[in-house]
Amino acid sequence: MTTKRDSRGRKRNYDKEYKRDHKPKKDKGDRSSRNRARTKLNKWRRSHGKRELAKTETVDHQDGNPKNNSSGNLKVMSQGKNSTKSNKKRAKKSYA
């Protein structure tokens, strides 16, 4: 662990900061795939005369795979419900 003091005299863990700021390629790929799903859904909604997704709405991948952007797998839900769903799933994994 690399703990050093910066120019202001504060202790900093540079290894931890590096890991926090430099995400693995899988995370970047998943995020870009989620962005493509949102774009795809907005394009479909515009073509069918519906409003675009609000900032508080998000696209949920029902099977949990962010790479699967098929129409049957995407569902619109609020960010709060989506976070609750993923937190419950994560909690089950950690205690199982």
> pLDDT value at position 1?
63
pLDDT > 90? residue 19: no
Report the distance separating Cα 38 and Cα 18, nearest Å: 29
Outline where DSSP puts E strands in the chain.
Answer: 3-5, 11-13, 57-61, 74-78
**Structural domains in the chain (count):** 1
Instruction: Specify the long-range contacts of residues 1-10, CB closer than 8 Å, at least 24 apart.
Output: none
> pLDDT value at position 20?
80
Cβ–Cβ under 8 Å, residues 59 and 82: no
Band of residue 93 on the pLDDT scale cut at 50, 70, 90: confident
Most confident residue range from 1-10, 20-29, 39-48: 39-48
pLDDT > 60? residue 38: yes
Task: Report which secondary-structure segment, H or E, holds 10.
Answer: none
Find the domain containing 86 and state its range. 3-95
pTM for the full model?
A: 0.65
